[in-house]
Amino acid sequence: MEVESIKLIETQHITTVIGAALGALLLPLLSFLIISFFKPRKGDWLAICSTFISFLLSLYCFTNIWNLQSYHYSAQWLNTGIIKLNAGLTLDNLSALMLVLVTLITTLVLIYSTEYMKGEKYYHRYFAHLSLFMFSMLGVVLADSLLLIYIFWELVGFSSYLLIGFWFDRDSAAAANKKAFIVNRIGDIAFFVGIMILFTQFRTLDLGALFGTADKAGLIQQSVVENGLWKFTDISGNAKTLNASMLTVAGLCIFAGAVAKSAQFPLHVWLPDAMEGPTSVSSLIHAATMVAAGVYLTARVFPLFSPDALTVITYIGAFTAFMAATIALTQNDLKKVLAYSTISQLGFMITALGIGAWQAALFHLVTHAFFKCLLFLGAGSVIHQLHHVQHKYHLDFDPQDMRLMGGLRKQLPVTYMVLLVASLSLAGLPLFSGFLSKDLILIGAWSWEKPGSAIIAVLLSVTSALTAFYIFRMIFKVFWGENRLQKTVENIDVSVHESGKAMTIPMMVLAIFSLFAAFSINPLHGAHSWIYEGLVVPLNSFNPKIQFTEFAESWVPIITVVLAVAMVLVARIAYYKQKMTFLTEHNFLYKFSYNAWYFDKLYNSVIVRSVVLLANFIRWFDINIVDGIVNGAATLVHQLSAVVDWIDRNIVDGSVNGIAWLAARIGDFIRGFQTGRVQQYMALGVFGLILIIVLSYIF
Amino acid sequence: MLNGIPLEHFMIISAILFSAGLFSVLSRKNAIMILIGIELMINAGILNLVVFGAFDKQKNEGQVFALFAIVLAAAGVAVALAIILNVYRQFKTVEPNQVEEMKY
């Protein structure tokens, strides 16, 4: 069912809705500034209040925008004569949805953090940085031009850098935030190149103008590709042409930015390391901010992608989804499993965008945000309690290692329940939100009719099955069986108790949003959910819209569910009953998966090492040759100036001094006559007179 | 001829008188002596005027000029003595060689 096109209101005045959106955007910044500059001992209430008000404002915006009206507020920002840049807010269904999502999840995470981060040395800093993080993400969502998105995009990268390295006194955290930042920079550069290509072609970076709005075609749609040229004629009739490949390149460049932010292959390596940050930060990064930014951007610029670009996007997404799922199978670190699961799910979204299942991708983004946030918060709860035990008895073990957990479901009943809900959602079982959105993606993949579509569809289905397996491996390892930690220490009771209300209530709220009811009345099919129907695929002149086939729509959900249930049972047998040991630790496949396909090693030995070598060479070059030239030039100048100095001292000064000396001597000599003695003058006068007389007589 | 004395004799006396004055002006240290020398030289000039005036019987211009010159000399002496007196007050000396302040 199509929603009739929604009227867009272009405005230059701040109306109530736009004011509310601006307020929602700026409040977290305000809280960041206040906490940073005034350094209250506890900044939590401030951050939570501002975020919550921000959430209420977002809700107000959302109710005024969703399926009713879009707003585009724009004001001139820069005017250099030739280039005019506007800055403003875009408020349509997508950004309103994201606005609510981000603020709601951040509010919950902040409330959770008050307990989780209790007693931290830099407690107020945590809340300040989290506020900044949310501000940046809201900026990405609300920005109306690619340049503004880019600015906030960088801010997201920067604030994630601060948060990943929150425990910056740990070497691993410091290394992880550097890695995240550098890997993200790679994508950012590509993103910027993409922006520049678009600017060259269209002379504007406004999202609405470029990519069109619900009822109006954008400049991208007006441009045509013919005879290997990408042509665009603006209103005044000036035609611009670029090579047709530039269209694909621009799309892929912007996509590369999303690849880095959303941790897609080959730039996914930062995300598992980012687990060094506090778990609550991970939950935010993985749910509503940061990684969502990449998918959001790809969705925003969707009309830009040429068929070739979309093919690349599809393959990257599908490969990432599969790869990350296989890695998640063997990880022992609780958070690492979830990290790879995020990469895998993001792969799903990216694939969905690639095949044109635009709405499904964003639907999955929303549902995933809730259950992934919940998974992390649940994991945080487990880790938090184990950490307490570790602290209490001064034990030496890794509180994130699943090999030491087990049987925790009676000690942590709430955490167990919410994690189970989230896991069922992630595994894609009916009645849960994850089922609705993931199913749509799988249906899309099976309906996709392009060469190689079967590979993508099979890959995604296999990944979906693997997802169910690894997440239930986690559930069984952590909550079932016997407590393996107890075995290592015999005389201490290591039982844990449930976390406090500040942690459990946000988790329960998220658990409600992980159920189907929050999104769709029909628990078995997501195509009629309000999010799916509310989001309108942007017009696209290069790619046809995907049509679900009857076959896919009827069979894919059944097969997926059967596979998922089977996998849950297999996981139960393998990790609870421990009757299957098909994945021994000496197996090559196991090692391959455990070491994350050796990507880190590969990057280290190929890229990092060559970069370091190059850097060393450049350093050598710098020290010996550049510095040599500079120093040589300096020495030469020094010597030359010594010569000039000598000439100056001896010849120039010499002649000047000589003249002065001569004048002085003459003066001295002449002064001899000026005795001041009148009689002498007179005598001289007389003798002179006599001399004249005598001479006049002689001659 | 003036009463049998030839003009040359007057001239010689005048020259001697002038030279004596000049010598006194050039060689004396004391300002008074220099002033006396100057007077001698003026008188040598006056003598010349008187002698030459003897040849002008109608107008006696020589004598008239001599009178003027005597008045001038007297005035000059008065001024010079006043200066010398002031110099003495200022420097406690009447020797021009020791009055050196204006030299510098």
Chain B closest-CA separation from residue A691 CA (Å) = 16
- Mean pLDDT, range A314-331, rounded to an integer: 88
CA torsion sign, A299 to A304 to A307 to A311? negative
**What's the pLDDT score for residue A177?**
86
**Interface mutation vs chain B, best among A671, A679, A686, most B CBs within 10 Å:** A679
Percent of chain A with pLDDT over 90: 10
- What is the C-alpha to C-alpha distance for residues A546 and A538, in angstroms, rounded to an integer? 12
- Judge whether B103 lies within some domain: no
Q: How far is CA A102 from the centre of its chain?
A: 14
Across the interface, whether the CB atoms of A678 and B102 are under 8 A apart is answered no
- Cβ separation of B97 and A682 shorter than 8 Å? no
Q: Which residue of A has its CA nearest to B102?
A: A676
Q: What's the pLDDT band for A250 if we cut at 50, 70, 90?
A: confident
Residue B64 lies in a domain: yes
Confidence tier at A542 by pLDDT (50, 70, 90): low
Buried b / exposed e over A122-151, threshold 16 CB at 10 Å, is: ebbbbbbbbbbbbbbbbbbbbbbbbbbbbb
Closest-CA distance of chain B to residue A659, Å? 25
**Contact: A676, B103; criterion CB under 8 Å:** yes
Cβ contact, residue pair B26, A682, below 8 Å: yes
- The chain A residue lying nearest B23, using CA atoms, is A683
> In chain A, what percentage of residues exceed pLDDT 70?
96
Please determine, for the modelled complex, whether the ipTM score is greater than 0.85. no
Cis peptide before A266 (omega within 30 of 0): yes
B100 touches chain A (CB under 8 A): yes
User: Rounded mean pLDDT of A52-59?
Assistant: 90
Chain B interface disruption, residue of A678, A684, A690, most B CBs within 10 A: A678
**What is the C-alpha separation between A570 and A472, in angstroms, rounded?**
9
Helix, strand, coil percent content, chain A, rounded in steps of 5: 70, 5, 25
Residue B39 lies in a domain: yes
Tokens of A591: 């090692």
DSSP string of A220-245, one letter each residue: HHH-EEETTEEEEE-TT--EEEEEHH
Whether residue B23 lies inside any domain: the answer is yes
Backbone angles phi, psi at B58, to 5 degrees: -75, -50
Least confident of A150-159, A181-190, A476-485, A641-650: A476-485
For residue A683, give how far its alpha carbon lies from the nearest alpha carbon of chain B (Å): 6
pLDDT bin (cut points 50, 70, 90) of residue B82 is: very high
Confidence of residue B70 (pLDDT cuts 50, 70, 90): very high
DSSP state of A538: P
The answer to whether A677 contacts chain B (CB < 8 Å) is yes
Query: Looking at the predicted structure, is the pLDDT value of residue A665 above 90?
Result: yes
Dist CA A21 CA A57 (whole Å): 7
pLDDT band for position B94 (50/70/90)?
A: confident
Beta strands in A482-597 (DSSP E): none
The residues with which A74 forms a beta bridge, in sequence order, are A88
> How far apart, in Å, do the first and last CA atoms of chain B sit?
54
> Has residue A2 got a pLDDT over 60?
no
- The first and second tokens of residue A354, run together, are 């690639």
Question: Domain tally for chain B?
Answer: 1
Average pLDDT over residues A563-580: 79
**pLDDT tens for each residue of A369-388:** 888 888 888 888 888 888 88
* CATH classification of the domain holding B90: 1.10.287.3510
**In this model, does residue A671 exceed pLDDT 70?**
yes
A3 band by pLDDT with thresholds 50, 70 and 90: very low
Long-range contacts of B73-80 (CB under 8 A, 24+ apart): B73/B39, B73/B42, B73/B43, B73/B46, B76/B38, B76/B42, B77/B35, B77/B39, B80/B35, B80/B38
**A667 to chain B nearest CA, in Å?**
15
Spatial CA neighbour of A130 closest among A142, A116, A144: A116
The answer on pLDDT for A194 being more than 80 is yes
Chain B residues 32-51 with CB within 8 Å of chain A: 34
Q: At A634, is the secondary structure helix, strand, or coil?
A: helix
Q: What would the pLDDT profile of A474-521 be if each residue is shown by its tens digit?
A: 888 888 877 777 777 777 777 777 778 888 888 888 888 888 877 877
Residues A574-599: pLDDT tens digits?
Answer: 777 776 666 566 677 777 777 777 88
Q: What is the DSSP letter of A526?
A: G
Of the ranges A30-34, A114-118, A217-221, A588-592, the best mean pLDDT one: A30-34
Nearest CA in chain B to A683: B26
pTM: 0.75
- Give the domain extent around B68: 7-96
Locate the domains of chain A by residue range.
7-594, 604-698
Whether B92 contacts chain A with CB within 8 A: no
> For residue range A253-262, what is the model confidence (pLDDT) as tens digits?
999 988 988 8
Q: Is residue B101 part of a domain?
A: no
Closest residue in A to B98 (Cα) is A677
pLDDT of residue A687: 92
